[in-house]
Structure 1
């Protein structure tokens, strides 16, 4: 890549200075800003290595500020002012307070101008204005704007922006920023300029600027009021053919938001830009969304079905933010889930409507269990609305996003669709153009619905995953059943005692013989430590179907009779509950295996066989239902984690299933899925089932599995089948493995996103040589710490490889620690996101626990460590 700076470590990492003081920011200390900035004008003279930024701020003293006569405090980060002017006059009365600019001002209103110069090429943190592959782009959430110019960098300071950009026209023919274009023109020396204006006040974290040699995929959308909105997705010319799916997804999202939430787009145009070097997935900057290229570029040859789905989801997510995040934003960063949890719920609902709602729900819950539940039970546990932080970028977590979305879903479940919609309508109407809190959102729902939701606010403030006990007793003579429920929440860091949580549980009773609902679904609210619910008129032995649709983010424990789960897996009328019964059957066998007991595999094998042979289930659901729980999820069920025992138990079960179900698996694996460009639900589901059953076939007979996988790899006309086959081969010790890996690399060497897959698949391989391979890959010419996607592909994927990462030697821990320390010198935010896998040391068996803790201590003791990594490491040790 043209603009990836990869140098030997000694050249890129001079001796680091001592670590700075790491102050803790507390929610209880929030105070309104002393100064507001209703208007800002920015003038950029753009260059890769030198950009001049001239900012003119109209400032007004905030009547709600708490400090009378307070000076104007403007945040900065690695900035030095070249000049400061007050009301048009040069000023030398300013001082620096650390990185921030402090200006004493008399009176209540002024015009403050500041001149700065920055080097985008040297900005390896990818926050603020930085260079990527010859273009310039920005990332300002959460606190990146202070790396562009001095400004009160907080979300409750909303401003209207006027922006002028000037640049060399040959180098930067396209100049984009927020809002609507006003005027363009030519300058001397082959330069040109563009002026834009955003009519909507916004916090500075939503500012965006892009300059580069880009080409647009253009389209338009007519809103429900008849306005035409111009749409454009900007990419490098060679990538234009890969943008149509993103454009189609954008138009579907715009129509869906009008139909479901009544939200109409408000500007004259909507731009998306794809960027190769990006810390996040995408960013919802007003009218100019900047995306990681992984969530824009796709064609069947280079992107999997999952990639296509993720693009649709992320495009929708960022577009939905136009209202749930932009027009109404968060008052402070503790309220981050106000916009993110709500918008994740919106994008989940959109994806469910675009495909299979049942499969989408299973996928969402799987992510929650793999990432958020371990987060909730570990040292980095925090509430949906945290109480404190050192570095806000560390709170872009699964708890904020995914658990936050589950809370919004509970509101939706309790209120029902009509009252929930009335509440969101009131929320948008009441707070348009404001920076507000999670409490404001709940209040709008309450006022519109007349329902008291105050008890649910405990979910915002209390960390941890509730554990629900459920026991169903049946009295055949009385034809009645009694359900006894109880709840508990284990202590989490900083919260040793817990309050009772309101837990909405969608519940039904299924007839053991009939397989039908003998007690129709009802919503049971467990809002105390315990509750009893009696069901009358039960004519046959009932089976408990509870937490249907995963109506609450909890773990349900309940004694089951022999055969009960197998019967539910075959006949439960709720798809998610049916899937859940399959998972619980698997857990029964797996947990017995981890204890060294002789596990009974037959109930699960029968259930999988019935599922594969069912004519009523679609292939996508079958694929999800027969998948075994991941090793990290199994670990969550254990008091003390032994990765070798977990891996051995899972592999034994996979082998037994593969051997017993060989014919059924082979039939599913060989099913035709149509052409590779067929993205219909049936075709995608068939391809998914092919890959899942291929993995089981290989577990039962590795040699045959390798032959079938290589044949699928060679014949594939799409990346889904190709990657599915390679994902099986990487875990096998067979000659086909190396052949396929080399062929994959040779074919896609020039496609960075596909080579990310190549790294990721090898880092996730379940074989004894994976650790050696990962260490070699870190020295591969195509690997770089500079690019967050590549770092995530190798180090992030390896950290999720539960068995290999937790190698008894501790080498996996040392490797990840080495990568974190090296990456921290370049990009602290990307480095900090690799720390959480090391935080599970307390629950590991003693030897691994000591080794893991030792690497965390080494990270924490590193000189010059960033605030980002320091917070993650020290909290993991506390």
Structure 2
């Protein structure tokens, strides 16, 4: 460890820096063995603070060559230097500071700062990677205008890129090239980017709403140039959508994306030069599934939208991370909903919240959307910051309506363009633009944990009224007890016996503090107290209640409904999300029942599921979700003491019962949806393939005919979506010989395509059927695996620990030991990836006692390592508290 007891950083201790950096000029001299970085900084004393004359610059793993102030060299004894910083004293109000450092990108396995990925130089500076390049005020509130010079052998690195616009490209006397980029927009150092390599580009252009022509370029290694069309098209659609929905126009002459194989994150929104994990940008029909296409579309949009919600307006400090990430996830979700199916998108969002974020809220790393403290900021790039943060923004949208939210976002961008601000600046813009008081709503940003809403309903026939009582409670989380009631928007519907929504009147009109309790236009109750009763009048019959339509708030709901009521909602609910939710509640009940007993599908359930399969008026993508069982990880979030083996058994029984009861219907559905049409990554085809392949999955479980069809689809299809679906069906068929033959054939076909091989790795390591410890150990030693590549690590270890739960939770603890060994190894080379792998081990308290003790022991073994990084130390120490 850098520090025997790493110190936490607290939001309450925020203060502005003693100096600002008005301009930054960087010169990179790239050589194979090392890189020489010269930074020229125009520094100005912060007039808001008393003059200190002292400047502490951040720096890590830097070899300091020289320091000069206003052109005069500074002697070594005139500054203080340690492993984390360089401090200069006796400064005046303005200076030109020149610092020369030497760094070694080829040795940088942490993939932060400047590093090598194959033959390419690239950067990753968020959150605090820039300090690995040069000494700097590496914090988001220090915004500077950047000029970047890249000097290198042009024959080795014909492409040299940085932020902004290219202003010069010359050949020096020694034959090396010097390329200069200038970014006219002030930005913090975390948005800096540099790329140099032998790359090809796919080019296009976009005309903005004000008639400006913007060049678009996607840079890739030569062998991937045929996989860029879809990302480029997604970029143009994102740019148009952001103009139409948010009024945001792009502000540079060029927008660039670079695909990088070795990248810790999915992508990075560096100003004008987005750097992407190659898995998030490269696709063609033969190598990418529909899910991969949709992920690319979403991530391209997300990073582009950051140009305004993150770049033009950025974070004051890292405690405000959700200011940019939560807002931008909300924006990209809206884009994806408009491009595809809004219902399916909402289902996908809810599955992530319920499976991953609710687990985080209930574990040792629980934290608010705006955290109070952290040891290592990289550990807070979490589903709470991103996905729950997006849900909080979505609730503001639900409260204000689309027009009110747009007024608020317009004011936010107008008011804070070019500034580093806080979450509350965003909320204030929403308040001021709409004349509302969101003070009570702000608790969503400060209180950790998932609120639990308990509902009870009583229909009084003599009054023709329904009395709905809601109670809310948020459980204690680390460092927080006694939570206050939240402002929870509850979108709902009342369904009559014919399956139609009923028109209602609601009282009371206001809560105890005068807040309107009912938004009739959107059917939203504003639930703001610990307990409230709402009366729905004018009801001539007892309705079926549909609560939290459109997943209107990220809460857990306790509301008892019979199987008949759930089947009725699954069949009739006009809200697509709640149809799915009713089905999930049904199937969850079945799985919990089947943990102890054999399971048989009831006649009524069989009838409803058959009707869904046959109903061609429904969106096939939605139907595929309606018939997909909850995952084992999803089920685990609904039991107090988790027995992974019992959950696996229950789910397997239900899966087989559904397959056998509806075998003929699945076969008919598959045959109906088969198509010889040329593959297109467009919504209608994707929806049809989703249902077709779900039908194949069930059909292959139930009959030899289905299994033969899977074999045929695997060998004859021309697209990865269908081939991967067949591969998964065959690999999980229970026929070990057939599974291995198919896996071997797939690898031989695709072994030269790394991204496809990653899918092959995940199919095996994430399988409850074949993802055994021995198989995973074999994959870690396979020629296709690389400990340096985060995608490979996630494909094997991440899939094993998060999906193959039966094997990961082996009763002898061997699965835990395998993961702990990998974390210890990666702690030394890539601490970010190591810390993210720990999450499955943090759930030890929720397991049955025998497994809990084994998992705790592996966590303790990691904690006992003498050289833990801050990243790993923070997660492990909090998990064991």
Give the TM-score, by structure 1 length: 0.96
Q: What's the offset of the Cα at 1:713?
A: 0.8
| 1:170 partnered with 2:172 | no
The equivalent of 2:879 in structure 1 is 876
Give CA deviations for 1:376-421 in whole Å, capped at 9, x if unaligned. Answer: 1111111111111111000000000000000000000000011100
Q: Tell me if structure 1 keeps the 8 A contact 2:600–2:657.
A: no
- Change over 3 Å in CA distance of 1:604–1:188 after alignment to 2: farther
Q: Determine the structure 1 residue equivalent to 2:326.
A: 341
Q: 1:854 aligns with which of 853, 857, 860?
A: 857
Mapped to 1, the partners of 2:605 and 2:826 lie a distance apart of 44
Contact 2:601-2:661 at 8 Å conserved across structures: no
- Deviation sequence 1:350-374 (CA, Å, 0-9, x none): 0000011111111111111121111
8 Å contact from structure 1 (residues 50, 118) kept in 2: yes
- How far did 1:768 drift? 5.9
Range with bigger deviation, 340-349 or 105-114: 105-114
Distance in 1, Cα, partners of 2:772 & 2:705: 22
Matched, 1:490 2:475: yes
Question: What corresponds to 1:750 in structure 2?
Answer: 752
Give the secondary-structure state (helix, strand or coil) at the position aligned to 2:467.
strand
What's the counterpart of residue 17 of structure 2? 33
Q: Residue 444 of structure 1: CA displacement?
A: 0.5
Q: What secondary structure sits across from 2:492 in the alignment?
A: strand
Q: Residues 592 and 599 of structure 1 are in contact (CA less than 8 Å); yes or no, is this contact kept in structure 2?
A: no
Structure 1 segment 319-398 matched on structure 2, within 5 A: 319-398=304-383
Change beyond 3 A, Cα 1:527–1:315? same
Specify which of 678, 693, 698 is matched with residue 691 of structure 1. 693
Q: Residues 509 and 544 of structure 1 are in contact (CA less than 8 Å); yes or no, is this contact kept in structure 2?
A: yes
Distance 1:18 1:427, change over 3 A: closer
Does residue 88 (structure 1) correspond to residue 71 (structure 2)? The answer is yes
Q: Which residue of 2 aligns with 1:536?
A: 537
> Could you tell me which residue of structure 1 aligns to residue 817 of structure 2?
814
Query: Matches of residues 133-282 of structure 1 in structure 2 within 5 Å?
Result: 133-282=118-267
2:449–2:474 CA contact under 8 A, matched in 1: yes
Deviations 1:138-192 (A, max 9, x none): 0000000000000010000000011111100110011100011111100234311
Query: Shift in Å at residue 704 of structure 1?
Result: 4.8
Find the aligned partners of 1:282 and 1:473 in 2 and give their Cα distance.
50
Distance 1:672 1:103, change over 3 A: same
Contact 1:517 1:573 (8 Å CA) reproduced: no
**Match of 1:825, SS?**
helix
- Which of 33, 36, 42 aligns to 1:52? It is 36
Give the equivalent residue in structure 1 for 2:738.
736
The more displaced of 850-859 and 734-743 is: 734-743
C-alpha contact 1:593 1:599 (8 A) present in aligned 2: no
Q: 1:490 Cα shift? A: 1.3
Question: Which has the larger displacement, 546-555 or 805-814?
Answer: 805-814
Counterpart-to-counterpart distance in 2, 1:438 and 1:48: 43
How many angstroms does 1:851 deviate by?
0.4
- Native 8 Å contact 1:673 1:686 kept in 2: no
Counterpart Cα distance in 1 of 2:64 and 2:40: 13
Q: Matched residues in 2 for 1:597 and 1:491: separation?
A: 37
Q: 1:75-129, CA deviations, whole angstroms, 9 ceiling, x for partnerless residues?
A: 0011121000011000021111432000013321111100111111000000000
Q: What is the alpha-carbon distance in structure 1 between the residues aligned to residue 849 and residue 790 of structure 2?
A: 33
Q: Is the CA contact (8 Å cut-off) linking 1:503 and 1:526 kept in structure 2?
A: yes
Go from structure 1 to structure 2 and tell me whether the alpha carbon gap of 1:100 and 1:613 turns closer, same or farther (over 3 Å shift): same
Instruction: Pick the aligned partner of 1:63 from 40, 43, 47.
Output: 47
Following the alignment from structure 1 to structure 2, what is the Cα–Cα distance between the partners of residues 496 and 804?
A: 36
Deviation at 1:714, TM superposition (A): 1.0
Contact 2:34 2:103 in 1 (8 A): yes
Distance 1:514 1:539, change over 3 A: farther
Residues 562 and 120 from structure 1, CA distance in 2 versus in 1: closer, same or farther, beyond 3 angstroms? closer
How do 1:266-665 and structure 2 match up within 5 A? 266-519=251-504, 522-594=523-595, 601-665=602-666
CA contact (8 A) 2:666 2:699 kept: yes
Residues 585-630 of structure 1, C-alpha deviations (whole Å, 9 max, x = no match) = 1122122233659776555433322211223212101001111111
Per-residue deviation, 1:707: 2.7
Aligned to 2:60: 77
* Cα deviation, residue 708, structure 1: 2.8
Contact 2:495 2:501 in 1 (8 A): yes
Q: Give the match's secondary structure for 1:629.
A: coil
Does structure 1 retain, via aligned residues, the 8 Å contact 2:44–2:93?
Answer: yes
The 3-state SS of whatever aligns with 1:532 is: strand
Inter-partner Cα distance in structure 2 for 1:417 and 1:495:
34
Secondary structure of the equivalent of 2:837? coil
Query: Secondary structure of 1:556's partner?
Result: strand
How much has 1:826 moved relative to structure 2? 1.0
Bigger Cα displacement from structure 2, 147-156 vs 800-809: 800-809
How far is the alpha carbon of 1:70 from its aligned partner? 4.4
What CA distance in whole angstroms lies between the structure 1 residues aligned with 2:682 and 2:37? 49
Find the counterpart in structure 2 of residue 13 from structure 1: none
Partner of 1:828: 831
Q: Distance in 1 between matches of 2:829 and 2:270?
A: 25
Residues 631 and 803 of structure 1 are in contact (CA less than 8 Å); yes or no, is this contact kept in structure 2?
A: no
Change in Cα spacing, 1:791 to 1:323, as seen in structure 2 (3 Å) is same
| Contact 1:56–1:112, Cα closer than 8 Å, also in 2 | yes
Secondary structure of 1:678's aligned partner: coil
Cα distance in 2 for partners of 1:250, 1:55 equals 33
Equivalent residues of 2:492, 2:548 under 8 A apart: yes
CA contact (8 A) 2:2 2:870 kept: no
TM-score (norm 2): 0.96
1:752 Cα deviation from its structure 2 partner: 0.7
Q: Measure, in 1, the Cα distance between the counterparts of 2:92 and 2:3.
A: 39
Structure 2 vs 1, CA of residues 596 and 853 (structure 1 numbering), >3 Å: closer, same or farther? farther
| Structure-2 change in CA distance of 1:748 and 1:561 (3 Å) | closer
Structure 2 segments unaligned to the other structure (5+ residues): 505-519
In the alignment, the residues of structure 2 paired with residue 375 and residue 730 of structure 1 have an alpha-carbon distance, to the nearest angstrom, of: 31
1:75–1:100 Cα contact (<8 Å) kept: yes
Q: Which range is displaced more, 675-684 or 238-247?
A: 675-684
Partner of 2:766: 764
In structure 1, runs of 5+ residues without a counterpart are 1-16
CA distance in 2, matches of 1:598, 1:710: 29
C-alpha displacement of 1:698 = 3.5
CA drift of 1:552 comes to: 0.4
* 3-state SS of 1:345 partner: helix
